[in-house]
Structure 1
Amino acid sequence: MPSISKKGYNMPASPIRKLVPYAEQAIENGKSIYYLNIGQPDIKTPKVALEAVKQNDVEILSYSRSEGSDTYRKKLAKYYNNHNIKVSHKDIIVTTGASEALLFLFSSIMDPDDEVIISEPFYANYIAFSTASGVKVVPAVCDIDDNFALPSIESFEKLITPKTKAILICNPGNPTGYLYSKEEIDKLASIAIKHDLFLVADEVYREFVYDGHKHYSIMQVDGIDQHAVIIDSVSKRYSMCGARVGCLVSKNKTVMQTVLKFAQARLSPPTYAQIASEAALDTPQSYFDDVIEEYVDRRNTLIAELKKIDGIKVAKPKGAFYCIVELPVKNSDNFAQWLLEHFDVDNETIMVAPAGGFYSTPGIGLNQIRIAYVLNKESLVKAVHILKEALKVYKD
């Protein structure tokens, strides 16, 4: 029988999605599930985006430009400039989600066996993108006891080798909800410039910042133009996960010319989704004000309920809509599967994301889960109650 590739063997299963078969079986068995495992907001997509698709007069659904339509990129450039990120449409390439942007970037700036330093825990698919590109992830381990703050700059610099090509952060963070301060961003920028590295920031949760804090983008740092790359997406900002439209933003012309070659190879990003995404940029600020207020309420409700459970730790997020919870179990993969297969309260159970898949360091995070607080407050209270009752009876 023909064999598959080493990449195929090494490609990790998604910690967010790998439990789906058990959830489907639980539903067949008559259980209801509270889905805490995936960052699919229940917030409604802005009507202006949906109407743009319904009311458009497209007669031929043709290819767009490989870098994305001019009208969308020009409107995106205005959006960034309004956030004090000074770019033109020529500094933007539209991609099929932020995932494609990262894949194109990894292939553009790194060769097989090159290294990228990532604050850990991190979005699980970073490992998948690295595996697909043959790139080695070097983790900068963060600690739940420190609310997942950035490790010391000294420890960061010790990770740099001749193979290091980039530092990658997610700000605000998935899965931790950590928000990098201006001081931390400035320090990372100084390291990137000093060691001639790329500084890549996944900023898809830029709008979701709480408690009076402000988001500070890497492209607001002076002197960083040739080192900085932003990865972005409409998925979370406008609750448009199914649109699969993201972008890559950089003022480094060589990077952009190289990324464009990969974009040309896949022809173009989706046309209808760009129409929706362009229209979404007209969403009023009141939409975000309401969404942020809702997420703050959900976060506060979730943290308050979790703290009522003995034996757990929870980090308080400053942004995005995730938190990491440390449980009194040995293996959260087994626990998460058991919840779906063998446990319920009044025929209801929960689906969580085991956090071990958000780490590349072996043995770390095995007793942690990620919770996405994308459900209403009543559902979150019920979900945490189920978790509390489950921990009373679960045996490793």
Structure 2
Amino acid sequence: MPSISLKGHHMPESPVRKLVPFAENAKKRGIKVYHLNIGQPDIKTPQIALDAVKNNRIDVLAYSRSEGSEIYRKKIAMHYKKYHIQVTHDDILVTTGGSEALFFTLSSIADAGDEIIIPEPFYANYNSFSIASGVHIVPVTSKIDTNFDLPPISEFEQLISDKTKAILICNPGNPTGYLYTKEEIHALAQLAKKHDLFLIADEVYRDFIYDNTEHYSILRESELEEHAIMIDSVSKKYSMCGARIGCIVSRNNTFIATALKFAQARLSPPTYAQIASEAALDTPQEYFDQIIKEYSDRRNTLITELQKIPHVKVTQPKGAFYCIAELPICDADHFAQWLLEKYHYKHETVMVAPASGFYSNTAFGKYQVRIAYVLNKDSIIKAVTILKHALDEYRYIDHEKTTTSSVASCDIH
């Protein structure tokens, strides 16, 4: 049999999607599954975006420009002014989702064997994109006991080597919901300038900020023109995950020109999705005001309910719509699969994302799960109730007698 590449062998499974077959089987057995595992908002997509596609009279669905529609890019640049970000359309490259934006970025700035420093836990696909690009992740570990705040800058600096190409952050964070302060962004910017590194910020959750706090973009940092790269997407902001439209934003002309070569190789981003995304930029502010209130209420509901469960530790996210919870279990991967494969409470169960996939060292997430509060408050309360009963039952299971096709037994601590 022909051999598979080492890159393919090392590519990790998605911690979010690898349990999907078990969830589908549970549903076939008549079990209702509450999906707390994936950041798929249940908020309606702006009608203005849907209508732009529905009412369009395109005769030939042609390629767009590789860098994306000029009209769309000019509109994005105007849109960023509300966030005090000053860029032109030439600083923007439209991509097929934020995922492609990240892949193009890593491919443009790093060679095989180069290193990227990332605070962990981090978005699971950073692992995948790095492996695909031959880049090594060098993690700086943040901890649940300190609300996953930014580790000291000295820890970053100690890890910088002649192989280091960039520091990558997600602001606000997936999976933690951590929001970087202006002072923390400034400190990272100074470090990037000092060591002549790129500072990459994945800012796709920029609009989901709570408690009257403010998001501060790396593109607001002065004198960082050659170093700053921002990743953005319409997926979460407009509840348009299926559109697969994102972008790279940078004032570094050489970087944008390099990323464009990768964009040319894949020809162009999808035309209809750009039409929808362009129209979505005209969504009124009331839409976002309602969303922020809704997600803030959901967050508060989730945290309140989780804190009622003995021995569960949870942080208070300031942005995005995720939190990390530490559970009284020995193996979150085993527990998450058991919930779908072996357990139900009144014919209902929950699906969570094991946190091991959000760490460079999977052992760090062994007791943790990521929970996405993308369900309405009533569903969140029901889901956490199920989780509580599940933890009570799981604690007393004799794992030596529990067999599954792919998960070893473990001892509850």
- TM-score of the superposition, structure 1-length normalised? 0.99
Percent identity over the alignment is: 66
Alignment of 1:230-241 (within 5 A): 230-241=230-241
Residues of 2 paired with 1:283 and 1:95: CA distance? 21
Structure-1 residue corresponding to 2:402: none
Structure-1 residue corresponding to 2:209: 209
Task: Give, in angstroms, the shift of residue 322 of structure 1.
Answer: 0.2
Residues of 2 paired with 1:313 and 1:383: CA distance? 17
Alignment of 1:146-161 (within 5 A): 146-161=146-161
Secondary structure of the residue that 1:78 maps to in structure 2?
helix
Indicate whether 1:73 and 2:70 are aligned. Answer: no
Residues of 2 paired with 1:105 and 1:313: CA distance? 35
Structure-2 residue corresponding to 1:393: 393
Alignment of 1:248-259 (within 5 A): 248-259=248-259
Alignment of 1:24-39 (within 5 A): 24-39=24-39
**Letter aligned with residue 177 of structure 2:** G
**Letter aligned with residue 370 of structure 1:** R
Indicate whether 1:369 and 2:369 are aligned. Answer: yes
**Letter aligned with residue 81 of structure 1:** K
Residues of 2 paired with 1:315 and 1:157: CA distance? 27
Structure-1 residue corresponding to 2:185: 185
**Letter aligned with residue 264 of structure 1:** Q
Residues of 2 paired with 1:290 and 1:26: CA distance? 34
Runs of 4+ aligned residues of structure 1 deviating over 4 Å after TM superposition are none
Structure-2 residue corresponding to 1:384: 384
Residues of 1 paired with 2:5 and 2:233: CA distance? 30
Task: Give, in angstroms, the shift of residue 196 of structure 1.
Answer: 0.3
Secondary structure of the residue that 1:390 maps to in structure 2?
helix
**Letter aligned with residue 20 of structure 1:** V
Deviations 1:223-278 (CA, angstroms, capped at 9, x unpaired): 11100000000000000000000000000011000000000000000000000000
Structure-2 residue corresponding to 1:168: 168
Deviations 1:106-161 (CA, angstroms, capped at 9, x unpaired): 01000001000001000000000000000000001000000000000111111111
Structure-2 residue corresponding to 1:94: 94
**Letter aligned with residue 41 of structure 2:** P
Task: Give, in angstroms, the shift of residue 82 of structure 1.
Answer: 2.0
Residues of 2 paired with 1:178 and 1:202: CA distance? 13
**Letter aligned with residue 12 of structure 2:** P
Alignment of 1:1-396 (within 5 A): 1-394=1-394, 395=397, 396=412
Residues of 1 paired with 2:249 and 2:366: CA distance? 35
Residues of 1 paired with 2:298 and 2:71: CA distance? 36
Residues of 2 paired with 1:136 and 1:99: CA distance? 18
- TM-score of the superposition, structure 2-length normalised? 0.95
Secondary structure of the residue that 2:261 maps to in structure 1?
helix
Secondary structure of the residue that 1:363 maps to in structure 2?
helix
**Letter aligned with residue 158 of structure 1:** Q
Secondary structure of the residue that 1:200 maps to in structure 2?
strand
Residues of 2 paired with 1:198 and 1:115: CA distance? 11
**Letter aligned with residue 202 of structure 1:** D
Task: Give, in angstroms, the shift of residue 362 of structure 1.
Answer: 4.1
Residues of 2 paired with 1:260 and 1:109: CA distance? 13
Task: Give, in angstroms, the shift of residue 81 of structure 1.
Answer: 1.7
Residues of 1 paired with 2:106 and 2:296: CA distance? 34
**Letter aligned with residue 37 of structure 2:** N
**Letter aligned with residue 139 of structure 1:** P
Residues of 2 paired with 1:350 and 1:363: CA distance? 23
Deviations 1:40-93 (CA, angstroms, capped at 9, x unpaired): 000000000000000011110000000000110000000112211100000000
Task: Give, in angstroms, the shift of residue 22 of structure 1.
Answer: 0.5
Residues of 1 paired with 2:20 and 2:234: CA distance? 25
Residues of 2 paired with 1:357 and 1:308: CA distance? 26
Secondary structure of the residue that 2:248 maps to in structure 1?
strand
Task: Give, in angstroms, the shift of residue 19 of structure 1.
Answer: 0.3
**Letter aligned with residue 19 of structure 1:** L
Residues of 1 paired with 2:159 and 2:49: CA distance? 44
